[in-house]
Chain A
């Protein structure tokens, strides 16, 4: 079946602009995670959704970052007033969301964000 998809694959924006990054998880997966990965580093946790609610947003770096998942499926990560330091690959992952499956996470291909 289809995996996790993310759009756009690349986004170039200017400092100060607003961007939205979209994640479409695997059908039936109730858990959704956003990570940020800088060059040469491992993914860094941003936020976790169980269903429609953000169960843990402790990884969001500041209040310029916000994410939603209004219908419990597609999620959008929103970044206001972008800064050059926001440049990274933003990864989305989903899992079945039950303890039984050990929270095995399936990652999407990511969105490469470049802030000029």
Chain B
């Protein structure tokens, strides 16, 4: 089942902050965040694992609430280059080894204006 992202779209002025949320009805092993610009490949931003480990770009921060199966991506002091569509991809807890089978949300369109 697809995770639900909110909001669907955000418009910011340069320097403003934004939070994008991702919610799943399934028990999650990990949450992956990507940004995709029009006509380009998704670019990795952050991975958050059950248990608290995470890996990502220095300027990006995110959280993962395991009890609620929710993740939030925090974009601070936004820049024009932050514009794009943000996707969360979730990996369910399974009995076997994790291998990164992701189910993506529908995306959040972020537009940053000068």
- A contact residues vs B (CB 8 Å cutoff): 4, 31, 33, 35, 40-45, 48, 50, 55-56, 91, 95, 97, 99, 102-110
19 contacts between A and B (CB under 8 A): A4-B41, A35-B104, A42-B104, A43-B89, A44-B104, A45-B101, A48-B100, A50-B99, A55-B99, A91-B41, A99-B97, A99-B98, A102-B55, A103-B47, A103-B99, A104-B44, A105-B100, A107-B42, A109-B41
* Count of chain A to chain B residue pairs whose CB atoms are closer than 8 Å in the complex: 67
B49 at the interface (CB under 8 A from A): yes
Minimal Cβ-Cβ distance residue in B for A43: B104
| Interface range for B | 20 to 34
CB of A104 within 8 A of CB of B42, answer no
Q: In whole angstroms, what is the CA distance A33 to B32 when docked?
A: 15
Which A-B residue pairs are the 4 nearest by beta carbons? A42-B104, A103-B100, A107-B41, A102-B47
CB of A110 within 8 A of CB of B41, answer yes
CB of A33 within 8 A of CB of B100, answer yes
Q: Chain B residues near A104 (CB, 8 Å)?
A: 32, 44, 47, 55
CB of B98 within 8 A of CB of A103, answer yes
CB of A31 within 8 A of CB of B104, answer no
CB of B53 within 8 A of CB of A102, answer yes
Q: In whole angstroms, what is the CA distance A106 to B97 when docked?
A: 20
Q: In whole angstroms, what is the CA distance A91 to B32 when docked?
A: 16
CB of B100 within 8 A of CB of A43, answer no
Minimal Cβ-Cβ distance residue in A for B5: A42
CB of A42 within 8 A of CB of B89, answer yes
B6 at the interface (CB under 8 A from A): no
CB of B107 within 8 A of CB of A48, answer no
B106 at the interface (CB under 8 A from A): yes
